Structure 1
């Protein structure tokens, strides 16, 4: 299954003020998240290399004695952000931190205000924040079962499904599936949505010839109920969509690729929501083309698009 590449990114900011002058000190933590697999090989996930700006930007406005922290969200969908104070000398925050805020698509809001508890004395502070894709109030309400994510006239088998992940604490993958596909067959939209994010994933794997490196892509679609469809392990160079695009059912996204644990073309597919600042996969059903009814996926199930 897929190593989790989380939506939350950590950043650190600090500020120090003396009686007459003040200045802002900030350090942005790398947006790279590293995970270890069973062979102690690093798997690295990171955002698109061509991103010129941070998609989430915190800005200090207000006055010298009462800084106000604003956040701008450049993603094509909502994010939830959490702030914590890591240093607070003669400082009061309103609201009290830690606190969480939902920033809408292309939204800019004031999150919190700081002020000295003793106005005539020096103060200093530092804060960190993290964010996660999605609104925590989203509820999964699909209008119909999910269409198998490939063109009409194909049949492909599920190699890993819900039952294979039961008993695990890995909520990110708990209700995800791997679909074995043929080389060059397009990956299509299962449920319409807006392209919220496109990310590149890199992996390393051990083979008889030694350690090799590879990469795949992930496309995240925001559904109208606030949940998100995740199409991962896409072949590099095959992704044909861009962020902000409204995609309809059956529209082509890319082609299946290979990953660290599966050598043949396949698609990782999941439906996710933000749950307490964590991305969690949630149960869903695939559409049976003959009955139009929903069927929960299982390992060995053959998906059809007649």
Structure 2
């Protein structure tokens, strides 16, 4: 999920009705994926059947989860002849928000809004002026601990790290500088690497590729930790999410299964720990821990999440 938002908000009755009228969502959406072996014996996954009608195929049908309804909202009201505008944070994580009033810069404000709560951004005798805003997940006052993380995979097999910190393909800039990619077969169990609260689940996309079109398409689960950092588990198999936003998980609890959704060149898990570093999202270095002890993940390193 993109946790940086910039939106222009116009104070008018039309906008009020658009933003705050009840809306019912229906998400009975299905996607078919065809699984088959090509001429070289390699397994292929596609939204289209093979051209050779003699090829044996297996059809995998997934039901897409409803789109996450959580989004920042604003509430306008009049109390004691004062116009009041509140921001409502529906997320299970604090946010830092900057509000800029187009013609009244003296009213500009930056504030922390706790999870599932509201804060006032304007109060005055005049109607709320036009404003823009942007926000980022997390409280910058929180300082992440040096906790180690269990391997986020449950599997009887050994797997290898295809890209680690400062990876040349896609880990060379923030907010993914300290991310790790684990090459995994499709359908491998993904588990929580640390206890926390699920803050976001995206489970609605079946396909992937190395084009920019796929950058925002990956299925993900994000989990907030008690020190203010949060982990994101990305490229999950559509329909495999085992948790919901607001749910508490322990280390080792099932989150979903590995896939190749979104910006991806093959089945893998993209794992990263992030924080709000003063109105910017940054990844932070971490260590994995297994039966052998703690270690810094390295490219081409083999790991064994064996029970």
- TM-score, normalised via structure 2 length: 0.73
Unpaired runs of 5+ in structure 2?
20-64
Give the conservation status (yes or no) of the 8 Å contact 2:157–2:304.
Answer: yes
2:32 matched to which residue of 1? none
Among 106, 109, 114, the residue aligned to 2:116 = 106
1:225-264 superposed matches below 5 A: 225-259=227-261, 262-264=264-266
Q: How many residues align?
A: 258
Among 1, 7, 13, the residue aligned to 2:3 = 7
Among 189, 194, 204, the residue aligned to 2:192 = 189
2:223 matched to which residue of 1? 221
State the SS of the aligned residue for 1:162.
coil
Measured at CA, do residues 238 and 86 of structure 1 come closer, stay the same or move farther in structure 2, by a change above 3 Å? same
* 2-structure distance, mates of 1:24, 1:261: 37
- TM-score, normalised via structure 1 length: 0.73
The reply to whether residue 147 of structure 1 matches residue 157 of structure 2 is: no
1:130-209 superposed matches below 5 A: 130-142=134-146, 144-151=147-154, 153-164=156-167, 170-200=173-203, 205=209
Give the conservation status (yes or no) of the 8 Å contact 1:165–1:174.
Answer: no
* 1-structure distance, mates of 2:289, 2:244: 27
* 2-structure distance, mates of 1:141, 1:281: 13
Among 45, 50, 57, the residue aligned to 2:67 = 50
Give the conservation status (yes or no) of the 8 Å contact 1:286–1:295.
Answer: yes
* 2-structure distance, mates of 1:86, 1:13: 10
1:59-74 superposed matches below 5 A: 59-63=75-79, 66-74=82-90
* 1-structure distance, mates of 2:208, 2:89: 32
Larger strand proportion of the pair:
1
2:129 matched to which residue of 1? 125
Query: How many angstroms does 1:50 deviate by?
Result: 3.2
1:119 matched to which residue of 2? none
State the SS of the aligned residue for 2:282.
strand
1:302 matched to which residue of 2? 302
Query: How many angstroms does 1:274 deviate by?
Result: 1.0
Give the conservation status (yes or no) of the 8 Å contact 2:217–2:263.
Answer: no
Measured at CA, do residues 126 and 168 of structure 1 come closer, stay the same or move farther in structure 2, by a change above 3 Å? same
Give the conservation status (yes or no) of the 8 Å contact 1:205–1:260.
Answer: yes
Give the conservation status (yes or no) of the 8 Å contact 1:14–1:24.
Answer: no
Query: How many angstroms does 1:241 deviate by?
Result: 0.7
Query: How many angstroms does 1:166 deviate by?
Result: 10
Two-structure CA RMSD over aligned residues (Å): 3.2
Give the conservation status (yes or no) of the 8 Å contact 2:73–2:88.
Answer: yes
Among 260, 271, 278, the residue aligned to 2:280 = 278
* 2-structure distance, mates of 1:255, 1:78: 28
State the SS of the aligned residue for 1:154.
coil
* 2-structure distance, mates of 1:212, 1:270: 19
Give the conservation status (yes or no) of the 8 Å contact 2:155–2:188.
Answer: no
Query: How many angstroms does 1:65 deviate by?
Result: 6.1
Query: How many angstroms does 1:155 deviate by?
Result: 2.0
The reply to whether residue 83 of structure 1 matches residue 99 of structure 2 is: yes
Query: How many angstroms does 1:111 deviate by?
Result: 2.8
Query: How many angstroms does 1:81 deviate by?
Result: 1.3
* 1-structure distance, mates of 2:175, 2:221: 16
Deviation track 1:266-289 (CA, whole Å, cap 9, x = no partner) reads 100000001232221111111142
Measured at CA, do residues 243 and 173 of structure 1 come closer, stay the same or move farther in structure 2, by a change above 3 Å? same
